[in-house]
Structure 1
Amino acid sequence: RYLSRKMATEKKEEPMDWGKVAENFESGARFSKLFAMHCIEMLQIPAVLKNHRILDVAAGTGSFALTLASNCTSVTDSSILATDLSPVMVEIMRLKSSTDIPAAIRPSISFAVMDAQKLEVPSDSVSHLACVFGIMFFPDRIQSLREMHRVLKPGGSAAVTSWQSLNTMGLLQDIAIA
């Protein structure tokens, strides 16, 4: 079933409890990691990070941020921030980072509970942004897209992935509106 434009922007009375979903989220980790790798390639993020500010929006259990960090060979004056609305998802990312990321890279990655519709990130501060399979769950996609655009530096790049069931034309309209 496709989400209508109205459904994508309606405020839900009872938001999904992502904390309950988090523990089973790892069952799709291999699939998510594959898409994370494609996003890293598409964004042309090098293994040697220098002066990069990377934001992972609606990170879930961290497939994009952790895959990126685990593939880094060097980090200079750079940071990776992985955000999610669910404190449980953020805690899972933190725990995974202690084993999945090389010790030398760990100080460059941070995690925060954050709403994609109100990113607590300075404007024009992010060089690369990814939102891997999160946008279709946002109550207000247009506001989330505006926030992603706001935090991107001029010339910055973003990769946003979605399941096929998201109304593609509706998403393109939302991008144009934002």
Structure 2
Amino acid sequence: MPEAYERYLVPVLFRPFAVDLAARAAALRPRRVLELAAGTGVVTAELLAAAPWAEVTATDLNDAMVAFGAARAPGAVWRQADAQRLPFPDAGFDLVVCQFGVMFFPDRVAAFAEVRRMLAPEGRFLFSTWGPIAAHAFDAATQAGLERAFPADPPRFLATVPHGYADPALVTADLMAAGFTVEEQRELTLEGRAASAADVATGFLTGSPVRAAVAERGGGSAERAVIIEEMTARLGPGPVTAPMTAYVFTCAA
């Protein structure tokens, strides 16, 4: 999964936002940075380039992602870690960064409280979460393809997890419950570029939890063809450029 995720999804969905997030991080001039849910290291690599003076520690819950990321961005210290039980002492970092990971935390308030424990005085928490699925052309097209391929019981992972924390008011309330003050909340729409709709479909079907959901429903080549056909009808043939909306939060402990 990490290889497919890195090849098909990272350049299209995640790198545009990683460049932006790393620039925001560098502007804060941190010396010690902790990254949560680092995945294959797209943000990590951008952080190392944008803030070469900083010590970066990158973590992910998934061992395979950590191994892949450590090879991709060896300038960081990599650790397998659960964001709700971080293996670091109090106040050890000036900045905690997380791109599109908070949606996966089982208890977000508890995870945010753990982030707050990590931060030194005047430290910051910088993270992003996806907006509504309707405002993300690639994910909306993928979901439409899944619904056409599995009309009786379509996989709902994309709508309920990556796009399941798309209410800024709820995010802000959870942050406040954990003791944070939101200094800035910004809606950000960037464009993703893919060689084809089929490539994006391949990424989701082989490099994301959608893979397991499709397998559970007995999906095979016929369903894959339907998904690609629907996505191509919505996104167009050949090279595809489409908008994606996220929210970026900067928070003070």
Alignment-derived partner of residue 2 in structure 2: 22
The RMSD of aligned alpha carbons is: 2.0
Say whether 1:172 aligns with 2:172.
yes
Say whether 1:59 aligns with 2:41.
no
Q: Whose relative contact order is higher, 1 or 2, with alpha carbons under 8 Å and at least 6 apart?
A: 1
| Matched-pair contact (CA < 8 Å) for 1:84–1:115 | yes
Alignment-derived partner of residue 88 in structure 1: 64
Say whether 1:79 aligns with 2:61.
no
| Matched-pair contact (CA < 8 Å) for 2:130–2:166 | no
Is the partner of 1:162 in helix, strand or coil? strand
Q: Deviations over 1:26-55 (max 9, x none)?
A: 122223222122222223447xx7x71101
Which structure 1 residue ranges, 4+ long, deviate > 6 Å from structure 2? none
Deviation for aligned residue 1:119: 0.9
Alignment partners' CA distance in 2, 1:112 and 1:59: 10
AA aligned to 1:43 is: A
User: Equivalences for 1:123-134 in 2 at 5 Å?
Assistant: 123-134=90-101
TM value normalised by structure 1: 0.72
Unaligned ranges ≥5, structure 1: 1-20, 99-105
Higher alpha-carbon Rg: 2
TM value normalised by structure 2: 0.52
Identity %: 28
Q: Deviations over 1:74-120 (max 9, x none)?
A: 53xx410000000000000011125xxxxxxx3xx210000000111
1:158 to 125, 133, 147: 125
Alignment partners' CA distance in 2, 1:153 and 1:62: 24
| Matched-pair contact (CA < 8 Å) for 1:55–1:82 | yes
Task: State how many pairs are aligned.
Answer: 143
Alignment partners' CA distance in 2, 1:140 and 1:22: 25
Alignment-derived partner of residue 102 in structure 1: none
| Matched-pair contact (CA < 8 Å) for 1:43–1:157 | no
Say whether 1:43 aligns with 2:25.
yes
Is the partner of 1:171 in helix, strand or coil? helix
Deviation for aligned residue 1:177: 0.9
Say whether 1:111 aligns with 2:78.
yes
Alignment partners' CA distance in 2, 1:67 and 1:131: 13
AA aligned to 2:10 is: A
AA aligned to 2:35 is: D
